[in-house]
Chains A and B, each alone.
Chain A
Amino acid sequence: MTGLLEIESLTKDFGGIRAVDSLTFRVREGGITGIIGPNGAGKTTVFNLITGVYRPTTGDIRLEGVSAVGKRPDRIVALGIARTFQNIRLFNRQTCIENVMTPLLQRAECPLFSALLRMPRARSVERETREKAMRLLAAMGIEAYADARASTLPYGLQRKLEIARALAAEPKLLLLDEPAAGMNPEETRSLADLIVRVHDEFGVSILLIEHHMDLVMNICSSVVVMNFGALLAQGRPDEIRTDERVIRAYLGKKKRERTAAEGEESHAGACR
């Protein structure tokens, strides 16, 4: 059986730095998979490789058996992958609903001619898209902010808006890069519920990078552990929790990593 996403011998060098090192793992359809690992382990780089922001040095990435390597990011989105960013990247001066409408509009059929002359087709597309976007905002509980500019939203809500925008691309696989970063324990718990609900309601498989161990252990059906760009282990959360190598490399110094993770937050633009 092939997985939804297959990463095979994936390697990425930045000059002398090997950010990702012959990484191989699979994401099954229908689950929530977590990626954990210390800072600089290469997790975000893996997302950037999957979504075509970077080209792998070697290795392959397949979605439902179709290779995504060398494809433009927007083509990869069309294959069924959407993502959020570690350092939120919204269309800041757009309203919330416009942020969500933008990917929806790209998927709607509306020829240029019909758009320029605003023919009935263009009007109906706009109306339907607005309704769809409103439903997505409601699913994230932020419909009250529909007409507010994205940049004016509080941090936690910006993360939710980013998830809504990603869902608007109607993905099979949703990549979330540290969705709980900068949140307090209570916000983190409610975000965990939200992610599970998104998974159930939208029938989307999820791959998420997270530093909050509880969140990963509670909602993930499978966990991938990375260290120095390479795969350290993959398994069910209970297997990972007791894995000797994982404990030594990561869980054992959880506290220190957490502090480091918060430090990373302040580096604006660290995530491309």
Chain B
Amino acid sequence: MDYILSVVTLAAINMVAVLGLAVFTGFTGLFSFGHAAFVGVGAYASAILTYYYYVPFFAALAAGSVAAALVSLVIGIPTLRAKLRSDYFAIAILGFGEALRVILENLDITNGARGLPGIDQFTTLPIVLACLAFSVWITRNFLRSRYGAACIAIREDPVAAEMAGIDLFRTRLLSLVLSAFLCGLSGGLLAHFLSFIQPVMFTLVQSTQLLAAVIAGGMGSVTGPLIASFLFIVLPEALRVANMWRLVAYGLMLVLIMIYRPQGIMGYQELPDLFRRKVSAK
């Protein structure tokens, strides 16, 4: 029972980060192989606050999210200015992920590569579910607003978007900040669930897994990536696959999704849309 609980909790924590990347990649059309770094910033910032400074858990969670958002500004401001080149950002975030690992491995306060053990286990499943619900709600509101409409317009056609009165730079930056904020929140929850964090937990491998969940879940969808993220964590556990076969199971799932749903599980639609279509088709 404890085991199932902890798998579900881990999946829900991961869903918060995937949701963040869905805003940036699925809705704004920008790719990132480095969002795990924002998860790392949130994890370390919040853990350091509760571990060394006895800051209350929720304040630390918020601070970790804000820290990730601020760091994303530092990367986004110089790289998202180029109108029709999104590769500047992709390269910068890749470099940042590596730089962050090196920094974390060499600071005293992070306890270096050995990692930070003994973080208080404040994270419970109800807290995670509440955070996930809050994140989904905020994201839905964002996407329905002028800001979300601007993100989607940019993904569809940046030139036409500008002609709709949209500031490309500010909109992309806002999308990045929101996505980093959610990744930071996920990191804070993760640190206080595992009670142990290490720099290698926030590298290219994890970033790629986040991106794979967004793409397999479907571009332009909130529910799709959430489902994919859940499946990616829970299925290998449920099948009780031996550790060495985890990656194989994971790869197999990706391949199957890409064969049967090349648009992703929910490409450009949401779970409720499926039912609505069924009803109206009658």
On A, residues with C-beta under 8 Å from B are 51-53, 72-74, 77-78, 82-83, 85, 89-94, 98, 101-103, 105-108, 110, 112, 115-118, 122, 125-126, 165-166, 168-169, 272
Contacts and interface: CB of A to CB of B under 8 A. Distances in A.
Given A91-B153, A115-B146, A107 B220 contact: no
B279 to A, nearest CB: 14
A99 B159 CA distance: 14
Nearest to B164: A103
A93 B159 contact: no
Interface in B219-273: 220, 268
Contacts of A98: 149, 152
Interface in B134-154: 138, 141-142, 144-147, 149-150, 152-153
B157 interface: yes
B163 A94 contact: no
Given A82-B163, A89-B159, A102 B153 contact: yes
A122 B141 contact: yes
B141 A115 contact: yes
B166 interface: yes
B135 to A, nearest CB: 11
Interface in B45-63: none
A116 B145 CA distance: 8
Interface in B161-188: 161-168, 174
Contact of B268 (A89, A93, A168): A93
Interface string B126-139: 00000000000010
A103 B153 CA distance: 10
Nearest to B269: A93
Contact of A110 (B138, B146, B167, B220): B146
Contacts of A272: 159
Contact of A74 (B142, B157, B162): B162
Interface in B108-141: 138, 141
B82 interface: no
Nearest to A52: B162
A103 B164 CA distance: 5
Contact of A85 (B146, B150, B152, B160): B160
A92 B160 CA distance: 11
Contacts of B160: 85, 89-91
A94 B162 contact: no
Nearest to A77: B165
A94 B164 contact: no
Contacts, number: 99
A126 B163 contact: no
B159 A110 contact: no
A104 B144 CA distance: 13
B87 interface: no
B163 A90 contact: no
A126 B144 contact: yes
Contacts of B159: 53, 73, 85, 89, 272
A92 B268 CA distance: 11
A101 B149 contact: yes
10 contacts: A91-B160, A92-B157, A93-B156, A93-B268, A105-B150, A110-B146, A112-B147, A115-B145, A165-B164, A169-B163
Given A74-B166, A82-B163, A115 B153 contact: no
B156 A105 contact: no
B274 to A, nearest CB: 16
Interface size classification for chain B: 20 to 34
A98 B143 CA distance: 12
B134 to A, nearest CB: 11
Contacts of B156: 90-94
B145 A51 contact: no
B165 A118 contact: no
A126 B149 CA distance: 11
A116 B144 CA distance: 9
A122 B162 contact: no
Contacts of A85: 159-160
B146 A78 contact: no
A125 B145 CA distance: 9
Contacts of A83: 163
Contacts of B167: 72, 74
A51 B153 CA distance: 18
Contact of A169 (B141, B144, B149, B164): B164
A93 B146 contact: no
Contacts of A102: 149-150, 152-153, 161, 164, 166
Given A91-B153, A91-B156, A92-B156, A103 B142 contact: no
Given A94-B156, A102-B150, A77 B164 contact: yes
A117 B141 contact: yes
Contacts of A126: 144-145
A115 B157 contact: no
Contacts of B138: 116-117
B264 to A, nearest CB: 13
